[in-house]
Amino acid sequence: MIKTIFYNYELDTIHFVDQTLLPAKKEVVSTMDIEVIADAIRKLRVRGAPAIGIAASFGLFAAIRNYRGDEISFPKFLDEKCSFLSATRPTAVNLFWAINRSKKAISSAFSNAEAGKKVFSAKKTALEEAQKILDEDIEMCRKIGDYGAQFLSDGQSWLTHCNAGALATGGFGTALGLFRSAFESGKKFHVYIDETRPLLQGSRLTAWELLEEGIPSTLICDNMAAGLMAAGKIHGVVVGADRITNLGFVANKIGTYGVAVMAQYHKIPFYVAAPISTFDLKLTHGSEIQIEERNREEVAMIGPTMIAPKEAKVYNPAFDVTPPELVTAIITNFGVITPPYSENIKKIIGSKV
């Protein structure tokens, strides 16, 4: 299984796969610098909602590991580093969930330790909590895969958009976890992969992952999905998520909403696979979700090549929001949530987030 991000206890370093270099090159970056990890999140070297949460928790550990101040100054230092990491990307709630969870555990350990040992206790707890978040994420993904695999039958072809695999998580994946579980159980099926413009996470990352796993797949341009649906060649769609509200509005990679509309028109089930760390029960409507807008070069260029006029204006939202009426079910690590989401999200996971 691909290890997206992890801590090497022997070398005392944090390692992550630089996803901007895939599929041409698989490079693992080693660091113990919060600045490097924050920059990696901003520049999508580490990406995917669960993965950036895990990265942030390890980044917080790196900062505390390098802390040389006194105990009096530590709480302010911790607040500053948490704010610094929180500012890297705005949409995926897993980032803030992981930072807040780590901060709470670290603050408690610091407060409860005896004088002279408070910072040491904070360092120890920061690593333990980051490792727990990573381990729990892998386990959550496996459960999502097992719950979701029941919907995929022999002989079917499914579509996925962007990358919600091991690279986007601690390992195994959410949407791709469904395919991994089904493949491990012996089911025979095929996966169509949207290229996912503008950064091509489908063609660069999902196609690479499925080839690594030996899962049969075909890469398509984003504008080919509707034709395949009309031809009866797609039997189901599964995507990941970056934030889900208490009514079931789903923020995910730009283009997801369009895929959901096409799926409904062609009467194809549309599933969302996400761990409970992706739910933001403080939000209700999709309009409340802050959508990240990224730089024009991501659209106007492919690699070093300019593909648009230099004067052309560019609109580049990284995500869109799919309303709950287009979602057949949400597959979580606590089970499958079906409509009405206004009742069933709170019933299944409300007390667990």
Strand partners, 293: 317
Residue 68: which of 120, 104, 12 has the closest Cα? 120
Cβ-contact 149, 181 below 8 angstroms: yes
Could you say which of 137, 146, 194, 242 is catalytic?
A: 242
Residue 157 in 3-state DSSP? strand
The angle formed by the CA atoms of residues 328, 178 and 186, to the nearest 5 degrees, is 125
Catalytic site includes residue 242: yes
Contact 32, 66 (CB under 8 A): yes
CA dist., res. 237 & res. 165, Å (int) = 15
Calpha distance 262→226 (Å, rounded): 6
Q: How far is CA 324 from CA 102, 176, 208, 237, 243, in A?
A: 31, 21, 31, 15, 13
> Which residues does the annotation mark as catalytic?
242
